[in-house]
Chain A
Amino acid sequence: MSTDRAEAGRHDFALRPSRPPAPVDHANEDLPIPLETRVEMYRLQQELRQFEKRAYDLFMQNLVKGTSHLSLGQEAVAAGVAAAIRPDDYTFATYRGHAHTLARGVGMGPVMAELLGREDGLLGGKGGSMHLTSVEHGMMGSYAIVGAHLCIANGAAWSAQIRGTDQVAVAFFGDGTTNIGAFHEALNFAVVWKLPVIFVCENNLYMEYTPSDFVTAVPHPAADRAPAYGLEAVLVDGNDADAVYEAARKAVELARSGGGPSLIEAMTYRHGGHSRADPGKYRPDGEVDAWLERDPIPMYHQRLLRLGVAEGQLTEIQQEVAQRVDDATEYAKASAPPGDAALMTDVWADGGSAWRN
């Protein structure tokens, strides 16, 4: 951290140097990605965007209780990785996990109902926004203690190694997470055991409210640490689904062929605040606008048009997704709160919670 940065704006967020996005790399258009994969990534980004906008509205209406951490603006990371893995692969997310859950094909209805604390929620109302999980989709959980799930993803990768499958495990996490011990333990462990695991850092520049570069020894919190573990430093544009897809595809290929782990740092930005109704006022003037300009979705829309996809097809996708978000909202609202009996179930494998006879 340079002194001038520390001095600039320590007490005045607006004076902090703004960190604008890199310009779009149009060469990514020429990556050999099948058009149907690209359309799929577009559809996924639409789903994540429209779903989370609705989730935000429902939060503001006090229907989503507790907290929620949205990935608005970060959709290209979830979509790009999801398109590069197989249905039997494992993913592990953080509390900012709505997008990563939906991207595995989990139904919007149960996810929305979980956010509303309803009995038809994905977790029966037991987990809420921060713990979305769908084992049948390989979505092995959303974890809200920073860093822990990187270690757990190692275990899923180890299990694939033992069972002799070529499944991979992916762990998503933020820039701030690179400063907790579990991150470093997980990386070293994965490398020495040569595990088929992919660590994907979504660098959205901020922890909760503090820019991570204020408290991080290196400019690129993940990529700059990679060489310390003998890994290649991989830095990609996290607002370009094609760039993310390509990096993920290479990492998956390496992991499946026994080549061990990868660490990807994807540069992105959250359009909103950290959580709940945080307005994100700690961000310097102009920074948010610059990143809104680099919104991953309109950019990708234009790219698909240039690649020959008809406007009508994209409109149809948008409308179809909008309908599904409406349906999910209705489904969630119509679902009852969990019954009292649910309180005492599922502590143990026998379904109960007894600790004595």
Chain B
Amino acid sequence: MAELNYREAVAHGIAQEMRRDPLLVMLGEDIADAGGVFKTTVGLLDEFGPERVRDTPISEQAIIGAAAGAAMTGIPTIAEIMFSDFIAVCFDMIVNEVAKARYMTGGQISVPMVIRTANGGGSRFGAQHSQSVENWCMMIPGLKVVAPSTPVDVIGLLAASIRDPDPVVFFEHKSLFATKGEVPDGEIVDTLGTAAVVRQGTDCTIVALALMVPRALEAADRLAEEGISAEVIDVRTLVPLDTETLLGSVVKTGRLYTVEENPRLCGWGAEITSIVAEEVFWDLDGPIVRITTPHIPLPSAEALEDLAIPSADRVHDTVVKTMG
């Protein structure tokens, strides 16, 4: 057992998998010599060498294209997109090339690659370096979408993503990089498509992802003091989606809250809301409530960014107000 922070867990997970699979390679901007702009790939160049850990030009299409071409010809790849906002620059590659390759070739082409990217707000970076874009990827058939909230999940889900024969977009949260957690010794491999009940409760279900998970937990602690027992679920992977765990919890508690960092429209919580409304409507004791970043680009100033992204306070207050 060791204590690692979320940032170190990224390099730990990649190293675990690169030791296991000598063919696995990674590429991205500033990832080799510099160890990544978020220091998530420190030490990998030294251990695995410049053939397996490669710096690239600032060419996001070329990065994703190269990762895809290698993956479809027998070399599993990890491509880093420095900030998730930059996915927009290579969206064609991800959406039209990588995600559709298997289906449109009648199953001939496999693209076993992972796109790692630093997602989300809280760093006061402003509108173009802060957005939570997991919902952009969730809506694309052919992509798996993962967003861990703890160091041990970073390792286990990264390993599962790398071993998955389908393309996975792996969102690392910038505001979680410094958070710490216990990590068991030995190989850690998790399972995609499994949500985690991170706090048991009976009165309502709060579903959260990535940075929103610790905030939901903090809110739940305070709600407990006030006599409301909230169950908190960390979704962990948006695709595949563990609806069994989600629906089971809502059936038990009768109330659903989603806590989403993505801007409101077409956020991932909307999909979960619609599934719950369609399938367990008669088990609900009240309206479903979505707690999201408003439908705005993110501002930079501390005061404004903190106001925009759901906080533990906002989650707590919303639950209190709506549980009556």
Partners in one complex: yes
Partner of B65, one of A150, A159, A346: A150
Interface centre among B57, B61, B93 (most CB of A within 10 A): B61
Give the residue name and chain of the B residue nearest to A138 (CB): B73
In the complex, are the beta carbons of B65 and A152 less than 8 A apart?
Answer: yes
Chain A residues in 8 Å Cβ range of B244 = 357
Stretch of B200-208, B219-227, B235-243 lying at the A interface? B235-243
In the complex, are the beta carbons of B75 and A186 less than 8 A apart?
Answer: no
In the complex, are the beta carbons of A346 and B102 less than 8 A apart?
Answer: yes
Is A27's beta carbon under 8 Å from chain B? no
In the complex, are the beta carbons of B193 and A346 less than 8 A apart?
Answer: no
Stretch of A59-67, A139-147, A301-309 lying at the B interface? A139-147
Known: A135-B108, A151-B61. A356 touches B75 (CB 8 A): no
Count residues on chain B whose CB falls below 8 Å from chain A CBs: 49
Give the residue name and chain of the B residue nearest to A151 (CB): B65
Write the B261-288 contact mask toward A (1 if CB under 8 angstroms, else 0).
0000000000000010000000000000
Is A192's beta carbon under 8 Å from chain B? yes
Known: A159-B73, A181-B61, A347-B142. A355 touches B241 (CB 8 A): yes
A342 to B56: give the CA distance in the assembly, Å: 39
Is A148's beta carbon under 8 Å from chain B? yes
Give the residue name and chain of the B residue nearest to A349 (CB): B165
In the complex, are the beta carbons of A155 and B73 less than 8 A apart?
Answer: yes
In the complex, are the beta carbons of A140 and B73 less than 8 A apart?
Answer: yes
In the complex, are the beta carbons of B109 and A182 less than 8 A apart?
Answer: no
- Say which size band chain A's interface belongs to: 35 or more
Give the residue name and chain of the A residue nearest to B194 (CB): A357
Tell me the residues in window 63-95 of chain B with beta carbons closer than 8 Å to chain A beta carbons: 64-75, 77, 92-93
Partner of B106, one of A122, A163, A181, A193: A122
Chain B residues in 8 Å Cβ range of A103 = none
Shortest distance between the CB of A36 and any CB in chain B (Å) = 30
Chain B residues in 8 Å Cβ range of A188 = 57, 59, 62
Chain A residues in 8 Å Cβ range of B96 = 145, 148
Chain A to chain B: the 3 pairs with minimum beta-carbon distance, closest first: A155-B69, A151-B65, A123-B106
Interface residues of A (CB under 8 A from B): 90, 121-127, 131, 133-135, 140-141, 143, 145, 148-160, 162-163, 169, 181-182, 185-186, 188-189, 192-193, 345-349, 351, 353-357
Q: A355-B241, A357-B242 are in contact. List 9 more A-B contacts (CB 8 A).
A: A121-B106, A127-B106, A149-B97, A151-B66, A152-B65, A159-B75, A182-B61, A349-B165, A356-B241
